[in-house]
């Protein structure tokens, strides 16, 4: 296991007792958790999902991108396992945090998990932050309140109520995003293929695989897969595979003490020098320079959260 540095990993047991954390769910108020956490502020990550429904201005850093949360409307945020994130200027923000594991979301359903095919879990199609419109606010507010109530009272069937509420919240958020960025009706099937492609990439990006190999797994031609990817991202399938490799490289450089060579081998590169050249071409920095710069940025960052 690679040694971690600076960037802690907070499990569900950081919020609640182990016997409750084992259920794979936590629901609480952001502002209460923000003041109760006995830990330093700054960048961190989790092995579970975090769904936030927040009111008030702030800034959210998520996997090397900054997202501004407005004061006028609620914000929907989904943080996936492994994503590096932190909050800035969140002292006055109010709202709800729902933390859940993939196992909790799936319940008794057999694998593969449906999570990767649900809207905001898919970073190829959706951003991790959405400013709510009036319809989403009216739809989601009672569901969030119901999750809070069920988690607090834990009556008969409370876990199922929370599980289905979370599924519905994700679906409604995905629908809201499509309202804000409308697309032709026929795009639905293509978007589904893109979501399936992302799930395959997420499972296999550490193993060198060609676009043609991914296409065969998905039952389409490489040309069709590239056409679908271009339809939604203006990039190619190969570029999206590379983007996922690059994201993992940046996470490992930031979060571990693995050498550049070890990171290269972990990502399937046989030649660490070639990996370093690819990284520099993509980011404008050598891997070691990126590591030094991002860690300095994190040490200077502010904010705290769950």
CB 211 within 8 A of CB 241: yes
Work out how many domains the chain is built from and give that number.
Answer: 1
Q: Residue 183 — pLDDT band, cuts 50, 70, 90?
A: low
| Rounded Cα gap, residues 72 and 133, in angstroms | 10
Residue 18 lies in a domain: yes
Residue 42 lies in a domain: yes
The predicted pLDDT at position 153 comes to 96
Question: Three-state DSSP class for 53?
Answer: strand
Residue 105 lies in a domain: yes
Q: Residue 102's domain spans which residues?
A: 12-183
Give pTM, 2 decimals: 0.76
Residue 153 lies in a domain: yes
User: What is the percent of the chain where pLDDT is above 90?
Assistant: 51
Tell me the torsion sign for CA atoms 263, 269, 271, 276. negative
Q: Residue 124: is its pLDDT beyond 80?
A: no
Q: In whole angstroms, how far apart are CA 108 and each of 96, 100, 113?
A: 26, 15, 11
Q: What is the mean pLDDT of the chain?
A: 86
Q: Residue 305 — pLDDT band, cuts 50, 70, 90?
A: very low
Q: Residue 103: is its pLDDT beyond 70?
A: yes
Please name the residue that has the structure tokens 């959260």: 305
The predicted pLDDT at position 86 comes to 85
Tokens, residue 236:
């190619």
CB 69 within 8 A of CB 57: yes
Residue 126 lies in a domain: yes
Neighbours of 164 (CB within 10 A): 13
Tokens, residue 227:
């056409």
Give the DSSP per-residue string, 217-238.
Answer: HHTS-HHHHHHHHHHHHSS-HH
- Tens-digit pLDDT profile for residues 16-41: 889 889 999 999 999 888 776 655 55
Residue 5 lies in a domain: no
Residue 122 lies in a domain: yes
Residue 136 lies in a domain: yes
Lowest mean pLDDT among 4-18, 72-86, 142-156, 168-182: 4-18
| Rounded Cα gap, residues 66 and 36, in angstroms | 25
More confident residue, 301 or 43: 43
More confident residue, 112 or 92: 92
- Tens-digit pLDDT profile for residues 249-274: 998 998 788 999 999 999 999 999 99
Q: What are phi and psi of 35, to 5 degrees?
A: -95, -20
Q: Residue 171: is its pLDDT beyond 60?
A: yes
Q: Which CATH number does the domain housing residue 64 bear?
A: 2.60.120.280
Which range, 66-80, 88-102, 136-150, 238-252, is most confident?
136-150
226: left (phi over 0), alpha (psi -120 to 50) or beta: alpha
| Rounded Cα gap, residues 298 and 102, in angstroms | 28
| 296 contact partners, CB below 8 Å, separation of at least 6 | none
CB 141 within 8 A of CB 85: no
């Amino acid at each position: 296991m690679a040694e971690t540095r600076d960037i802690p990993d907070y499990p569900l047991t950081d919020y609640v007792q182990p016997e409750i954390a084992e259920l794979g769910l936590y629901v609480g108020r952001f502002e209460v958790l923000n003041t109760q956490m006995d830990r330093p502020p700054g960048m961190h990550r989790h092995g579970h999902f975090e769904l936030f429904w927040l009111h008030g201005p702030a800034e959210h850093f998520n996997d090397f991108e900054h997202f501004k949360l407005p004061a006028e409307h609620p914000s929907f945020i989904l943080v996936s396992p492994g994503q590096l994130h932190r909050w800035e200027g969140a002292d006055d923000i109010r709202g709800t945090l729902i933390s859940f594991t993939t196992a909790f979301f799936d319940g008794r359903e057999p694998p593969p998990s449906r999570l990767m095919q649900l809207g905001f879990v898919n970073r190829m199609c959706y951003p991790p932050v959405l400013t709510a419109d009036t319809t989403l606010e009216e739809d989601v507010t009672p569901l969030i309140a119901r999750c809070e109530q069920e988690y607090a009272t834990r009556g008969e069937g409370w876990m199922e109520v929370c599980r289905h509420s979370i599924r519905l919240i994700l679906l409604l958020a995905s629908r809201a995003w499509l309202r804000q960025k409308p697309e032709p009706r026929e795009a639905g099937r293509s978007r589904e293929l893109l979501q399936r492609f992302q799930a395959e990439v997420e499972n296999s990006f550490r193993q060198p695989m060609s676009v043609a190999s991914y296409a065969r797994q998905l039952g389409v031609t490489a040309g069709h897969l590239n056409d679908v990817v271009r339809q939604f991202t203006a990039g190619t399938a190969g570029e999206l595979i590379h983007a996922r490799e690059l994201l993992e490289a940046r996470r490992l450089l930031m979060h571990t003490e693995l050498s550049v060579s070890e990171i290269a081998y972990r990502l399937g590169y046989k030649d660490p020098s070639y990996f370093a050249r690819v990284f520099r071409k993509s980011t404008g920095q050598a891997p070691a320079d990126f590591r030094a710069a991002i860690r300095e940025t994190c040490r200077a960052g502010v904010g705290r959260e769950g």
